[in-house]
């Protein structure tokens, strides 16, 4: 028994011996990921990180810009609508509320738009931090950071445009949540950033934030300066437009939107897509009738959402090349036979639309971006954010506003000539207002343009909300909950 007892003494030591070894080591071993602070040391690694800033432009869940900024910009304007079509597209009434400017702060649409834009900013901030930490030379860092700050300025421009006064969060290391800056402060930040970097921006690179993109964005900022900060800056806008070089009008208007539109000489800033490797860009799939699968011989479904508000089609002259970007009348199969709605009536796109109880054919459709045989749900058309025609028309508008309509006329005429239409000898603001719709229909310009022309908060089709405070969107409820320094915009 004594021997037993002595032996017994050693037994508890077995686990203890193991304990002394690695058996209480709780460090995690990583395999296919890496701690964030250990990545981004070499130029090659930096390149993959910077690439993410551009990838982020395809946005939230990879679906930028549709669903989010797209609906808030297009449907709130007088261009587009998603009517409730029988069982389809009621979706809790959100599309009707956007049409009628009755959106609320807890609208999912507003939340995801806010999050998408700020997520982009956060990504860029963190990349800037990583670039600073890397072993690049000071010059390399400055050049890489110029592009990144350009992308960030683009995000802040969208925030300034849609939400007005928003928090300016520009330093990754600053972990404090921020209160809102005034819209003028946001404006000044974007302006100073763009001015500071534009000299260092690359002069070429498809899909990159180039020097031309920098000046174009600056011009867009100036043309809206009166709205954004109360001071018009028409001459500054003209000066910025004049700095945009190397681009010209594409001979054929619709060639800017081809499935393979990378050859366009007009597109300045685009988000590249490729149906086989990237997600996103299903703009066309969202707009057209279900039977378009047969009509266009695609392999994926269409969901019959967006269409034109009544009257949009009538704003085009009959031989306006830009009207070919719209689909009106009967939808035919390739063999010429009439395609039918699911209630048995023919698919026949009409100008008339009923917001609350539309048929499947209500509304004329946007087919600006090419539909190709064999197309999938997601398309290869690169999404155009800025093209040269915008630079031209911004300059023309600014000239008119400065009373130099004579100088504006030839510019407008050039844009219209490309569309096979004549231009009156005198172009005034009213003419410009309609011309901007014709040129940039469904390109997310209209809401901003309407506000600048003072025509956003006036009664229109299925819209009688005249509260000017609706010219900026509310801070989403979720953002208010996570940042107690935020104050809701007036009127919400």
Partner 1 sequence: MNLTRLLRYNLALLLLVCLSAMAFAKPVADITVNGTVVDTKGTPLPGVSVSVKGSSAGTTTDNDGKFKITVAEKTILHFAFIGFDAREMIANPTMFVTLQESVTSLSQVTVVSIGYGSARKSDLTGAINSVNSNKFTKGVITSTEQVLQGRIAGLIVNRAGGDPTNGSSMRLRGGTSLTASSYPLVVVDGVLGADINTIAADDIESMDVLKDASATAIYGARGANGVIIVNTKRPAAGRVKVDLSGYGSFGYTANSIDMLSANQWRKYVRDHEIGGAVDYGATTDWQDAISQNSFSQGYNLALSGGNDKSTYRASLNLMQNNGTIITSKLNRLNGKINVTQKAINDRLNIDLSLSSTYDKFKPIDYNALRYMYNVNPTMPIYDADGNYFEAKGNLDYNNPVAQLEQLKNDNTTNRFLGVSKFDFEIVKGLKAVANLSFINNSFEGLYYAPTNSMTGQNDDGFGSQTGNKVNEKLMELYLNYDAKIAADHSINLVGGYSYFDSQNEFYGLSRRGFNSDTFGYYNLGSGQDYRVSDIYNGKTDWKLISFFGRASYNYKGKYMVSGTLRNDGSTKFGANNKWGLFPSGAIAWNMAEEAFLKDVNWLNQLKVRAGYGLSGNQEGIAPYTSLALSGPLNGELYYDSASDSWKNAYGPIQNNNPDLKWETTAQLDIGADFTLFNRITGTIDYYDKQTNDLLYTYRVPQPPYLYSTILANVGNLSNKGVELTLNASVYNTDKFKWNIDFNIAKNKQKITKLSNDAYTTEAVYSGLLVNRGFSNVYTQVIKEGYAPGTFWGPKFLGIDENGKFMLEDLNEDGQITDADGQYLGDAQPDFTGGLGMNFSYKNFDAGFSMYGLFGQKLLNATGMSITDDNRLPSNNVPDASLKDNLTDQARFSSYWIQNGSFLRMQYLTLGYRFKTKANSWLHNARVYVTGENLFLITKYDGADPEISLDGLSMPGIDNFITPQGGSNPGTYPKARTFSIGASLSF
Choosing from 72, 80, 109, 225, the residue that interacts with partner 1 (CB under 8 A) is 109
Q: Is 185 one of the binding residues for partner 1 (CB under 8 A)?
A: no
Choosing from 108, 350, 372, 407, the residue that interacts with partner 1 (CB under 8 A) is 108
The two tokens of residue 353 are 């639309």
Choices 143-151, 190-198, 300-308, 387-395 (CB under 8 A): range interacting with partner 1: 300-308
Task: Name residues contacting partner 1, limited to 362-401 (CB under 8 A).
Answer: 376-377
- Residue keyed to tokens 């959402």: 305
- Separation between Cα atoms, residue 165 and residue 61, nearest integer Å: 26
- Angle in degrees, 0-180, between the axes of helices 211-223 and 388-401, rounded to the nearest 10: 30
Choices 38-46, 390-398, 441-449, 463-471 (CB under 8 A): range interacting with partner 1: 38-46
Choices 90-98, 312-320, 390-398, 416-424 (CB under 8 A): range interacting with partner 1: 90-98
Least Å distance, CB 359 to partner 1, is 11
Q: In the stretch 124-163, what mask flags binding to partner 1 with x, by CB under 8 A?
A: -xxx------------------------------------
Q: Is 315 one of the binding residues for partner 1 (CB under 8 A)?
A: no
Question: 136 φ, ψ to 5°?
Answer: -65, 155
360 versus 448: smaller Cβ distance to partner 1: 360
Eight-class DSSP state of 25? -
Choices 46-54, 158-166, 440-448, 456-464 (CB under 8 A): range interacting with partner 1: 46-54
CB 253 within 8 A of CB 322: yes
Q: Is 203 one of the binding residues for partner 1 (CB under 8 A)?
A: no
Measured on CA atoms in the order 279, 284, 289, 292, is the torsion positive or negative? negative
Choices 120-128, 242-250, 428-436, 461-469 (CB under 8 A): range interacting with partner 1: 120-128
Task: Name residues contacting partner 1, limited to 404-423 (CB under 8 A).
Answer: none
Eight-class DSSP state of 381? P
Cα-Cα-Cα-Cα torsion 388, 261, 349, 430, nearest 10 degrees, comes to 0
Measured on CA atoms in the order 314, 317, 321, 327, is the torsion positive or negative? positive
Residue 184 burial (C-beta neighbours within 10 Å; 0-12, 13-18, 19+): middle
Choosing from 345, 420, 464, 466, the residue that interacts with partner 1 (CB under 8 A) is 345
CB 309 within 8 A of CB 78: yes
CB 72 within 8 A of CB 109: yes
Least Å distance, CB 97 to partner 1, is 8
Q: Is 35 one of the binding residues for partner 1 (CB under 8 A)?
A: yes
- If one counts every other C-beta atom within 10 angstroms of the C-beta of residue 391, the result is 25
Q: Is 311 one of the binding residues for partner 1 (CB under 8 A)?
A: no
Q: Is 16 one of the binding residues for partner 1 (CB under 8 A)?
A: yes
- Separation between Cα atoms, residue 305 and residue 362, nearest integer Å: 10
Choosing from 235, 299, 319, 420, the residue that interacts with partner 1 (CB under 8 A) is 299
């Amino acid at each position: 028994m004594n021997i037993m007892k002595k032996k017994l003494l050693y037994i508890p030591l077995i686990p203890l011996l193991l304990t002394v070894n690695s058996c209480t080591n709780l460090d995690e071993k990583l395999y296919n990921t890496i701690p964030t602070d250990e990545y981004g040391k070499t130029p090659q690694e930096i390149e993959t990180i910077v690439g993410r800033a551009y990838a982020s432009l395809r946005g939230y869940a990879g679906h930028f810009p549709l669903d989010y900024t797209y609906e808030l910009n297009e449907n709130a304007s007088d261009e587009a609508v998603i009517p409730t079509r029988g069982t389809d597209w009621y979706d809790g009434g959100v599309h009707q509320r956007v049409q009628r400017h009755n959106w609320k702060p807890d609208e999912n649409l507003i939340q995801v738009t806010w999050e998408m834009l700020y997520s982009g900013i956060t990504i860029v901030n963190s990349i800037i931090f990583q670039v600073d930490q890397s072993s690049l030379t000071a010059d390399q860092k400055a050049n890489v950071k110029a592009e990144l700050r350009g992308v960030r300025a683009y995000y802040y421009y969208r925030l300034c445009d849609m939400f007005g006064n928003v928090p300016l969060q520009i330093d990754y290391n600053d972990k404090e949540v921020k209160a809102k800056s005034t819209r003028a402060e946001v404006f000044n930040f974007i302006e100073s950033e763009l001015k500071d970097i534009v000299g260092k921006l690359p002069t070429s690179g498809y899909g990159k934030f180039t020097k031309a993109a920098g000046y174009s964005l600056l011009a867009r900022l100036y043309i809206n300066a009166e709205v954004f900060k109360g001071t018009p800056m028409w001459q500054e806008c003209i000066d910025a437009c004049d700095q945009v070089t190397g681009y010209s009008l594409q001979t054929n208007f619709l060639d800017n939107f081809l499935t393979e539109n990378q050859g366009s000489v007009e597109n300045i800033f685009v988000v590249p897509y490729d149906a086989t490797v990237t997600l996103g860009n299903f703009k066309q799939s969202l707009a057209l009738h279900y039977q378009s699968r047969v009509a266009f011989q695609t392999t994926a479904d269409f969901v019959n959402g967006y269409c034109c508000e009544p009257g949009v089609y009538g704003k085009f002259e009959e031989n306006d090349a830009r009207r070919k970007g719209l689909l009106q009348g009967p939808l035919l199969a390739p063999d010429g036979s009439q395609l039918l709605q699911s209630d048995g009536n023919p698919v026949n796109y009409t100008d008339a639309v009923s917001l609350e109880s539309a048929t499947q054919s209500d509304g004329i459709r946007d087919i600006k971006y090419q539909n190709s045989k064999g197309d999938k749900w997601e398309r290869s058309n690169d999404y155009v954010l800025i093209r040269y025609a915008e630079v031209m028309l911004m300059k023309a508008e600014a000239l008119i506003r400065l009373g130099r309509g004579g100088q504006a006329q030839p510019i407008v005429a050039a844009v219209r000539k490309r569309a096979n239409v004549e231009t009156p000898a005198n172009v005034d603001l009213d003419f410009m207002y309609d011309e901007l719709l014709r040129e940039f229909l469904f390109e997310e310009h209209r809401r901003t343009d309407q506000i600048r022309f003072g025509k956003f908060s006036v009664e229109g089709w299925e819209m009688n909300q005249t509260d000017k405070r609706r010219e900026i969107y509310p801070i989403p409820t979720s953002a208010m909950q996570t940042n107690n320094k935020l104050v809701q915009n007036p009127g919400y």
